[in-house]
Structure 1
């Protein structure tokens, strides 16, 4: 599959439940501290919310949306854009908080002070987070279905065949580490809640997985013992 088409499918997955999955990743406590260079690299790579208009235009052309289907298509586009924008805002908020935490660590290190690390989330905290993720996931699936089902119903057999091929990869059936939430899901694993042993919640090494532990290989920040990771 071409890189552009992969990005397109990533964007569509964002439209389905970008915020639902992102919320779980962004809710991870900022107790993992990537180096500034790693953070800059991640920011440079951008997220799956980028170039949404271009990818939607590509999909529209591929599906050969007709004038009669235009109204329902615009509703579909609106959901994708709204969810992508919300995900972008959550991601930017997370990055700002993460950067502030890193700066706090650096200031403590320079002052020769110990770095205090928040306690990891408890089992019930994690269950609460999973419950919230599931609820938001269901909400965004319902929103997408409300606009996509009538659009799909208006398709010709040829359009349906193409939609089944292009959209199915983005919105199902896999919801595990190789579906929406993992490194083969939307955004290449960025904010996708990867499974244990994956690249981490932000697509980079050493970032926490869904269990709150660091599954990657990035070294700990200054003044933090190795066993803290």
Structure 2
């Protein structure tokens, strides 16, 4: 009869070999890696360019189809706030760009510079496929805004209004004033860059009520 100690040694070696084979075939999964949450999806956004200087009003209400009070939370004062007014007065205000394509209006801001009133623009991210609203106003806009090479002259000395529109994901927009004859209205143009040229295409807007 074989030595019982020798048989026991063989059984132990076989069990150890089987366990090594299991570990090799199926490596352990990190508990930390398995339970780590997935990264949140990036929200779809659009971009909007607004212009300002002393004598102008440009308030942005993101994700809103109506106009709140100017001192409400969440109102972006691109023009008409104390900081921008002081910067425009002293000539120290600067443009804020998110990389939108230049248009004839943004490239020719100096034409609108006045006495203690430097013109500038600011670009904002806004949620796509949700309404955003604007309160815009300007004095003597005739020499300022140009759309597709057409310059508006001898028009109403002022223009203002409250509008809302719904941007689409990944698109860029620019606020503007447009005219039918001498009647001024607020408009939003999509900024489209093609083959080294920039085109402005009007998009649908509606009047924004008060909240």
TM-score norm. by structure 2 comes to 0.24
Flag the structure with higher helix content: 1
Flag the structure with higher strand content: 2
Q: Could you say which structure has the greater relative contact order, defined with CA pairs below 8 angstroms and 6 or more residues apart?
A: 1
TM-score norm. by structure 1 comes to 0.23
